[in-house]
Amino acid sequence: MGRSPCCDESGLKKGPWTPEEDERLLQYIQKNGHGSWRTLPRLAGLNRCGKSCRLRWTNYLRPDIKRGKFSQEEEQTILHLHSVLGNKWSAIATHLPGRTDNEIKNFWNTHLKKRLIQMGFDPMTHRPRTDFFAALPQLIALAALRDQLAADPAASAHLQAGGGSAAGGVDVAIQAAKLQYLQCLLQSAATTIDGIASTAAAGSTADAEAAALGGALCSPQGTQDSTAAPVSAASGQQLLPSCTFPEAPVSSEADQGLSYGGGAGVDVFVCHGGASLPPLADLSDAANNPSGDGCSATASSSFGGGAVSPLPWPEFFPDDPFITDFL
């Protein structure tokens, strides 16, 4: 209860630690253990409060502390655990031997958080930004696609050939695109559901990561960059080698853009990019996979036992056949 009085005491030194202080604290703890942090400074002959000593020890002097840059694996772990645990830095730190909560927190605030924001993700939910107008360009792009496919025999032929289905290739492709967009919307709407998380990072560098994730975002770029999605799917699977599939097996097709994580004892559904809407160039593949993309069947089941929640948006454009087709 209440605030610790130790740091309120006047006359105690604050600010950066000197090498002499470090040495004194280190030697004392190595010899006696830290025991009571409150009494430690006096016993060790340090003019610091116990809190400051504890912080210095846990964040800097502890012998098992790992220094240097975070590895890709560590980065992945942080992203994944943060998506599950939120800002529970100490809990995250327990999964990263040698890293302190402070270090992880700093790394998050200075690197990962900014990167997620740049990629259009909400750093708290790890999901694409949920405002409707942000998704509007994609809606428009899909509507345009429908018109274009209907008007372009070459594209239709391509889709029919690639789709492998003799009947209604264009329609199937459009339906698949619609389905994927719907899933995008649904997933955006599900941001408040606890326990649902996504690992956002994939790729070996920030730029590669951005590119990879950008392909999976519900954004105009995501729908038009024909190279992004494969990178996303591939890297997403590569970089989460320890991910498990606690609920249901997922087919390799459906697995694209998906991964599961069981960190911290929590079964977590993870969908890269929140809604792996593939680029439009992949529509033939989408048509091959009538269940939609990797966020389809398992996604809806993860959002509450398979029942899809009612859309929150129909009131915005109830008369648009493109939307009502979904309902």
Partner DNA sequence: AATGAAGGCAACCGCAGAAGG
Partner DNA sequence: GCCTTCTGCGGTTGCCTTCAT
What residues make contact with DNA under the rule CB under 7 A? Answer: 1-7, 13-17, 35-38, 48, 50-52, 54-56, 59-60, 87-91, 101-103, 105-107, 109-111, 114
Task: Determine which helix (DSSP H) or strand (DSSP E) holds 161, and give its type and residue range.
Answer: helix 153-163
The residue (of 38 and 158) whose beta carbon lies closer to DNA is 38
The residue (of 37 and 326) whose beta carbon lies closer to DNA is 37
Query: Which 3 state secondary structure label does DSSP give 269?
Result: strand
CA distance 88 to 31: 32
Task: Determine which helix (DSSP H) or strand (DSSP E) holds 40, and give its type and residue range.
Answer: helix 40-44
C-alpha dihedral, 105 to 109 to 114 to 117, nearest 10° = 80
Query: Which 3 state secondary structure label does DSSP give 122?
Result: strand
Distance of CA 162 to the CA centre of its chain: 32
The residue (of 25 and 271) whose beta carbon lies closer to DNA is 25
Parallel, antiparallel, or unpaired for β 121-122 and 127-128? Answer: antiparallel
Parallel, antiparallel, or unpaired for β 268-271 and 196-197? Answer: parallel
Question: Smallest gap, in angstroms, from Cβ of residue 58 to DNA?
Answer: 7
Question: Smallest gap, in angstroms, from Cβ of residue 219 to DNA?
Answer: 22
Question: Smallest gap, in angstroms, from Cβ of residue 104 to DNA?
Answer: 9
Question: Smallest gap, in angstroms, from Cβ of residue 68 to DNA?
Answer: 8
The residue (of 31 and 67) whose beta carbon lies closer to DNA is 67
The residue (of 87 and 309) whose beta carbon lies closer to DNA is 87
Question: Smallest gap, in angstroms, from Cβ of residue 26 to DNA?
Answer: 13
